Structure 1
Amino acid sequence: MPDKPTAEVVVDETLVRALLRDQCAELSGAPLHHAADGWDCSVWRVGDRLAVRLPRRAAAADLIAHEQTALAIIGPQIEQTGVRVPLPLVHGRPTAGYPWSWSVVPWITGMPGLAVAREQRRGWASSLAAALRALHRPALADAPVNPVRGRPLATRDEAVSARFEAARRRGSAAEEVLTHAQRLWRDAVETPDWSAPPVWIHGDLHPGNLVAMGGRLVGVIDFGDVTGGDPAYDLAVAWLAFDAAGRTLFRAELPGVDEATWVRARGWAAAVAVLLLEHSDDNEPYRLLGSEALAELVCEP
């Protein structure tokens, strides 16, 4: 992805310790160190087993609130499959020194999915499918609303088509690859929309939000885009994460998914892949993810 936006609040050790001292005193003296700054949030390790997750900017503030609301409902059923999620243990409140909600969550030990070679992810297929079967249950009527993820594809057609044209101008991929991927997008737009009630979806499911250990999938993280909608958006992970063999295994574990949903999922995979190409000049792992996903799509019949 592009350079992350500038933080609007300085999130440092002094702030994190002050929040813990004020709202979670039992952790205020624990070892604390900075783990990472993502696009939206700063993450700090607390001892060996916990982490603090705090928005860096106002646009991300709702993401933490959405995680706190949704994971209380969907987190336990996902974890019953053996795949962990960052189920908030502390719902931190805004204070005079920090304006947004924040969370203390379990630290899921493992390596980022992006660091695992595509062919080595095949062993995740069954676990990821089980996690999605647990997740893709009817969403509450007041589930968080995401204006982009899980919506009818036609609502995103203009934006996605513009990205394909931008990719052509930039020479981000070969013309025949972009033409094939855009045809898959068009096929998906013309496929009937999801007509059943909205189900819970992760909303940002790709290898960067998967955690692995020893060839096993052990966690799914970053539920900030969680929403109710069409599960096809999440199922795009079949092309984002897996090679052909892994994809076959993954799809076999989801026999209840109809062909129209897979067509939409493939279209979403094309849209996400071209987005990654557009916004990955300064992040090689995500540029490679976009290129690899396009290659997987071209290999499909």
Structure 2
Amino acid sequence: MRPPLHPKPMLAEAARSLGLEKIINYGGDGWDYDTVTAFDSHGRTWIMRAARRADVVPLLMRENAILPHLQIGLLTPKPEKFGALENGFPCAAYQFIPATESSAETISAEATHLAKALHRLHTTPKEIWVDHVPSSPSWLDRTREQLEVTAAHVTWPTHILAKWREILDLDQLWASQPVLCHGDLGPPHLLSLDGHLVGMIDFSDMQYAPASVDFGDLLTAFGKEAMLRVLISYAALSGSNLETLLAASYGYRELGPMFTAFHGINVGQPEFIEEGLARALEIFEPR
């Protein structure tokens, strides 16, 4: 949890304007949001999120439009209160989901449950999200463009750049019909309670992309065994080709450091660029 970027009195004023009178704590939700945890007059716990930067504002607006209609068989945030900070940055509040981040062991044990949730997410009716999640340019074209942007800013080893271009040229890996993906399935965004998977949160990185985007994230975050258990169940549900989806998931994982560096370039955070370079070396030049 990072410290908030907006002044605490400003966050408190916005929370109180939404009927959240008793502040529990302040914090930063990743790099994109400031958060306030607070009680309402009925003693219910809420999380208020406020965009930290101008480029995050449309992501929050997108969540506000889509999440109330999302039904995936897991608890998801349902924004119910909407406002703005004194400086104009928007905020939204949803009721707190009383659970903690998931472990690889939980994901393995709950693989079928997660596979069903991902299948429901990926088959969400298009009318719910089509006006909020861009479908053009394609994921593949966007990714190729992002790779070239990073190549102009980061001193990648030549063989790593060549490998990434080779991966993106494997059209058979990326030929599946794009779906609505979560886009950031790590431990903080998959919530568990008493060993059971109960929730999925933080949909800021939703994108119209191959399903392998979500499985590549699971592979990075939880390891091969957990991801494979989910993938096998998902392939049975969706009718996807297991071998192709597995290969694409590994391909996406290998592209991950490039996405991290691109984000750093995009938001002016050099630490992301450094992290991306370090992860690329870890993947392609393991000790």
TM range (shorter): 0.7 to 0.9
1:134-213 equivalences under 5 Å are: 134-137=120-123, 138-140=125-127, 142-146=130-134, 151-160=138-147, 166=154, 168-169=156-157, 183=163, 186-192=166-172, 193-194=174-175, 196=177, 198-213=178-193
Q: Indicate which of 45, 60, 64 corresponds to 2:60.
A: 64
Aligned residue in 2 for 1:45: 37
Indicate whether 1:264 and 2:248 are aligned: yes
Helix, strand or coil: the match of 1:204?
A: coil
**Change beyond 3 A, Cα 1:159–1:28:** closer
Report if aligned partners of 1:151, 1:230 keep a CA contact under 8 Å in 2: no
Report if aligned partners of 1:112, 1:209 keep a CA contact under 8 Å in 2: yes
In 2: Cα distance, 1:129 partner to 1:298 partner: 32
Spell out, residue by residue over 1:71-100, the C-alpha distance to the aligned partner (whole angstroms, 9 max, x if none): 1221xx12x3xx22112122x1346x2413
Aligned residue in 2 for 1:112: 101
What is the alpha-carbon root mean square deviation over aligned residues? 4.0
User: Amino acid of the residue matched to residue 200 of structure 1?
Assistant: L
Spell out, residue by residue over 1:49-72, the C-alpha distance to the aligned partner (whole angstroms, 9 max, x if none): 311011112111111101011112
Q: CA deviation at 1:163?
A: 5.3
In 2: Cα distance, 1:293 partner to 1:63 partner: 31
Q: CA deviation at 1:166?
A: 4.5
Spell out, residue by residue over 1:223-261, the C-alpha distance to the aligned partner (whole angstroms, 9 max, x if none): 112233432322212412333322321111112223444
In 1: Cα distance, 2:11 partner to 2:176 partner: 44
Q: Which has the higher contact order (CA 8 A, sep 6+)?
A: 1
Report if aligned partners of 2:97, 2:199 keep a CA contact under 8 Å in 1: yes
Q: Which blocks of at least 5 consecutive residues in structure 2 are unaligned?
A: none
Q: Which blocks of at least 5 consecutive residues in structure 1 are unaligned?
A: 170-174
Aligned residue in 2 for 1:85: 76
Helix, strand or coil: the match of 1:240?
A: helix
Report if aligned partners of 1:70, 1:143 keep a CA contact under 8 Å in 2: no
1:29-40 equivalences under 5 Å are: 29-40=21-32
Identity %: 20
Aligned residue in 2 for 1:99: 88
Aligned residue in 2 for 1:172: none
Output the TM-score relative to the length of structure 2: 0.73
In 2: Cα distance, 1:84 partner to 1:268 partner: 27
**Change beyond 3 A, Cα 1:216–1:287:** farther
Output the TM-score relative to the length of structure 1: 0.70
Q: Which moved more, 1:54-63 or 1:265-274?
A: 265-274
Q: Which moved more, 1:234-243 or 1:62-71?
A: 234-243
Report if aligned partners of 2:261, 2:275 keep a CA contact under 8 Å in 1: yes
User: Amino acid of the residue matched to residue 271 of structure 1?
Assistant: L
Question: How many correspondences in the alignment?
Answer: 266
Indicate whether 1:15 and 2:2 are aligned: no
Q: Indicate which of 235, 240, 246 corresponds to 2:226.
A: 246
Indicate whether 1:223 and 2:223 are aligned: no
